[in-house]
Structure 1
Amino acid sequence: MHKKTNISVFVLFVSLTFILFAGLTVAGCTAKETATSNKEETNAVPVQVEKARKGILDAKAGIAGKFEPYEKVAIAPKVNGKIVEISVSLGQKVNKGDVLFTLDQVDLQNAVKQAEAQLQVAQANLKKAEIGSSQGLDQAKNNLAQSESAVAQAKQAYNDAKINLERTKKLFEAGAVPSVELEQKETAFKNAEIALKNAEIAYENAKDSVHYAGQKTDIEVAKASVAQAKVNLDNAREQLANATVRAPISGIVASVNGAPGQMSSMQSSVITIVKLDPIVVKGYLSENEVTSIKTGAAVKVEVPTVGKTIDAKVTAISPVMDQQLKAYPFEIEIPNADGKWKADMVVNVIFQGTNGQLENSIIVSRKAVFEEEGKKYVYKIENNKAVKVEVKTGEETSEEIVILEGIKENDTIVVKGQTLLTDGAEVTIQKQA
């Protein structure tokens, strides 16, 4: 009985050992197959994809712009002074020429009176110079006439003395007169010659006097003084007029930075006026966008704060890039007679091309396209593998780009995960968040 029991225990032990071995073998095979499967899944690159579509590309430029005044003028006085009165208030409409504010005028009025007095003095000096010049010229002419008469008399005396000397010489040679008489005639001739020369010198001096008197030098100086006094008076009157500051344009008072009793200077603005009709949208175009957008192009201006969209046209595009933003400024003018649109409102500008819309084309997300060695590529999915395809691109926006060559409508294109891909790599497609 004891022997049978031992045999039964042995048989049971062998059976259990066989079952355990078989189980371990099966478990080992299953684990190996699972690891192999996980390894294959790990080698596949996860990507996100989109379908290439055919449609019309809306070109969004500058992403955002903003409303700005058509014209903005910060007004400072042209003279320093104390503000006496401010005639306008914030938000008030004003017309060109309306009084904005006035400065204290006492000192300026005194400056005008002083300039007027200086002009009167200068005019009196001119009159005096004109009278003196006239009298001086008459006297000089009288002196010239007298000198001319003296020269004539001296010439006559000289000729008479010369004739007498020649006659006396002949008589002396004939022994008819003594030498004393000859000497007297020679002396008389020399005296007549000296008198003639003196008379001629006096005549030339008289002529010079008439010439200088005719130049009226004193009168010219006095006239210059009068002209300068008039300029000073005009300046003083202009400064007085500048104490009343008027609006240089029609518009709306955007800011008031002064108050009565406050000192103002030419370096600080007191009133700012803006013109908001039309209002101007200002934004920037990228280098790619500026080549396809022209002045006059149709646009839609979205105003997110009020949920409105405005149809408009581009009125100006700068041909010069803003070096800080690396983009080209553009402007759009929008009528604003009712004042609905305010300066600094943020807007979104949608360009529709020069003909209202861009060409019907194959369009993909801009992030699908990448560049290598000057060429552009996308990854297209075929049979769960990524195929690297060279493409030729066209118009583009900040979000989408036109594909001219390389792919066709409904091709599946990788838009996320390209950096991990190589040509022919296995992929797993993930849903976009």
Structure 2
Amino acid sequence: MKKLINTVSLLLLLAVVMTGCGKEAPKVEEKLVPVETTKISTGDLSHSLNTTGEIIAGADVNVMPKVSGRVQNVVVKVGDKVHKGQVLFQLEGNDAQNALAQAEAGLDLAQANLERAQQGLKDAQINFDRSKELYDSQAISKSQFEQAESGLVSAQTNLKVSEAQVKQAQASLNTTQDNYNNATVVSPINGVVAAINVDPGAMVSPQVSTVTVVQMDTTKVKVNVSENVVDSIKAGTKVPVTVNAINKTVTGTVLSVAPKADPATRAFAVEVQLPNEKGDIKPGMVARLNLSTGTSTGVLVLPIDAVLERDGQYTVFIVEDGKAKEVSVKVGTTSGELTEISSGLKEGQTVIVTGNRLVSEGQKVKVVKELGGASK
């Protein structure tokens, strides 16, 4: 009985094995990675230089008195808006006023002497003319005539001296008047008072800055650029400028480009003027600039996301026969969302833009969308 049971079990096992060998093993479907692609094409790529710089006032003037003196009063405070010619502070003017009165009197005296000399010349001319007639008619002696002639010459000389004295007195008065006027110190520009370094009663001189006035209607930002891009930056060029402190972007204008490099930095200074009608852009803030430095025409371009970088080497994945193929490339200028491919690819090749970080060499892919084309 036991032998029979063993025989039946063996037959059943053989039947199961034979049944299994008659069927094919199930196939495992290969997974396709979904990707988005684009065809590499030629285009124009703008070159730009992203840099930062510190904002400075459109004009920054340290006001110093033209004469020495003691401050009588200060009529402005920090933050005041002032216009050109507006009084900032006043020096004591007693000495200047006395000197002015003396100079005016000196001019009056010189003018009186001039009038007397003019009259003296007239009298001498009349006397000379009369003496000449008498001498010609032999009514007076030669010595009398020569005396009249000498008097005319002397009168002419006196007139010249008097005229010179008037000019001298007028120049002295002008200088004294300037000194008197300079006791009133005014703003040389329209702007805002940024600093006051003087108090009433203090002594000041032309060598010491007393008040600082800055022009805020326009501001400037100064940046340094290298020699390989300076020739492409031109005065008058429009420049986007972002001031992060106030979250504001304005359009600036290149005001000047230095004709020579700074000996210390070997860089060229570029000044960009910024409009500031509201006055919210303050000197000292940091600005970010995007300077245009030219255009490359007819170059191969790709979206930045299509290019992978590993240890300084750049690659892209192209699609060939439904599979991903890794290709080494060299990149050039980058502008916005596009980058230049200088070697490694040909126009018209299909490049993976999205999903390129999920594929490997030879892996099958499924193009779900071709950028710029219809979805697949």
Q: Which interval holds the TM-score relative to the shorter structure?
A: 0.5 to 0.7
Equivalent residue number for residue 23 of structure 1: none
Q: Please, which of 52, 55, 58 is the counterpart of residue 64 of structure 1?
A: 52
Q: Among the aligned pairs, what percent are the same residue?
A: 31
* Partner secondary structure for residue 126 of structure 2: helix
Unaligned runs of 5+ in 2: 1-39, 317-326, 353-376
Q: Please, which of 93, 97, 100 is the counterpart of residue 109 of structure 1?
A: 97
Partner Cα distance (1:58, 1:148) in 2: 98
User: What is the Cα deviation at residue 352 of structure 1?
Assistant: 5.0
User: What is the Cα deviation at residue 321 of structure 1?
Assistant: 3.0
- Asked if 1:121 corresponds to 2:60, the answer is no
Aligned partners of 1:300 and 1:309 also within 8 Å = no
- Matched length: 292
* Partner secondary structure for residue 222 of structure 1: helix
Partner Cα distance (2:102, 2:213) in 1: 36
Partner Cα distance (1:405, 1:131) in 2: 99
- Asked if 1:265 corresponds to 2:253, the answer is no
Partner Cα distance (2:300, 2:80) in 1: 50
User: What is the Cα deviation at residue 107 of structure 1?
Assistant: 0.5
The one-letter code matched in structure 1 to 2:90 is: T
Equivalent residue number for residue 226 of structure 1: 166
- TM-score for the superposition, normalised by structure 1: 0.57
Instruction: Give per-residue Cα distances to partners, 1:404-426, cap 9 Å, x unaligned.
Output: 34667979xxxxxxxxxxxxxxx
Aligned partners of 2:111 and 2:166 also within 8 Å = yes
Partner Cα distance (2:298, 2:250) in 1: 17
Aligned partners of 1:76 and 1:267 also within 8 Å = yes
- Asked if 1:93 corresponds to 2:81, the answer is yes
Instruction: Give per-residue Cα distances to partners, 1:342-386, cap 9 Å, x unaligned.
Output: 10111221235568x9977367899988xxxxxxxx7989xxxxx
Partner Cα distance (1:321, 1:396) in 2: 28
Aligned partners of 1:280 and 1:334 also within 8 Å = yes
Q: Please, which of 49, 68, 82 is the counterpart of residue 80 of structure 1?
A: 68
Instruction: Give per-residue Cα distances to partners, 1:2-53, cap 9 Å, x unaligned.
Output: xxxxxxxxxxxxxxxxxxxxxxxxxxxxxxxxxxxxxxxxxxxxxxxxxxx9
Partner Cα distance (1:319, 1:367) in 2: 39
The one-letter code matched in structure 1 to 2:146 is: N
User: What is the Cα deviation at residue 280 of structure 1?
Assistant: 1.6
Aligned partners of 2:54 and 2:284 also within 8 Å = yes
Q: Please, which of 260, 273, 280 is the counterpart of residue 321 of structure 1?
A: 260
Structure 2 CA distance for partners of 1:145 and 1:311, relative to 1, 3 Å: closer
Aligned partners of 2:47 and 2:333 also within 8 Å = no
Structure 2 CA distance for partners of 1:143 and 1:368, relative to 1, 3 Å: farther
Aligned partners of 2:253 and 2:272 also within 8 Å = yes
**Larger strand proportion of the pair:** 2
Structure 2 CA distance for partners of 1:311 and 1:131, relative to 1, 3 Å: closer
Equivalent residue number for residue 205 of structure 1: 146
Task: Return 274-283 or 103-112, whichever deviates more.
Answer: 274-283
Partner Cα distance (2:310, 2:234) in 1: 26
Partner Cα distance (2:164, 2:284) in 1: 56
User: What is the Cα deviation at residue 70 of structure 1?
Assistant: 0.9
* Partner secondary structure for residue 278 of structure 1: strand
User: What is the Cα deviation at residue 117 of structure 1?
Assistant: 1.6
Partner Cα distance (2:190, 2:122) in 1: 58
Partner Cα distance (1:305, 1:202) in 2: 96
- Asked if 1:253 corresponds to 2:193, the answer is yes
User: What is the Cα deviation at residue 401 of structure 1?
Assistant: 8.3
Aligned partners of 2:252 and 2:275 also within 8 Å = no
User: What is the Cα deviation at residue 277 of structure 1?
Assistant: 1.5
User: What is the Cα deviation at residue 300 of structure 1?
Assistant: 3.0
Answer with 1 or 2: which has the greater Rg.
1
The one-letter code matched in structure 1 to 2:176 is: A
Partner Cα distance (2:300, 2:220) in 1: 31
Equivalent residue number for residue 277 of structure 1: 217
User: What is the Cα deviation at residue 265 of structure 1?
Assistant: 0.5
Partner Cα distance (2:128, 2:299) in 1: 97
User: What is the Cα deviation at residue 133 of structure 1?
Assistant: 3.0
Aligned partners of 2:100 and 2:176 also within 8 Å = yes
- TM-score for the superposition, normalised by structure 2: 0.65
User: What is the Cα deviation at residue 114 of structure 1?
Assistant: 0.9
Instruction: Give per-residue Cα distances to partners, 1:68-110, cap 9 Å, x unaligned.
Output: 1111111101111001101111111112222100001001001
The one-letter code matched in structure 1 to 2:342 is: L
Structure 2 CA distance for partners of 1:407 and 1:264, relative to 1, 3 Å: farther
The one-letter code matched in structure 2 to 1:103 is: L
Structure 2 CA distance for partners of 1:317 and 1:354, relative to 1, 3 Å: farther
Structure 2 CA distance for partners of 1:139 and 1:73, relative to 1, 3 Å: same
The one-letter code matched in structure 1 to 2:184 is: T
Aligned partners of 1:70 and 1:275 also within 8 Å = yes
Aligned partners of 2:218 and 2:274 also within 8 Å = yes
Partner Cα distance (2:311, 2:67) in 1: 63
Equivalent residue number for residue 7 of structure 1: none
Equivalent residue number for residue 347 of structure 1: 287
**Larger helix proportion of the pair:** 1
Structure 1 vs Structure 2 CA RMSD: 4.1
Partner Cα distance (2:74, 2:273) in 1: 32
Instruction: Give per-residue Cα distances to partners, 1:315-341, cap 9 Å, x unaligned.
Output: 324151332332222233322222211
Equivalent residue number for residue 249 of structure 2: 310
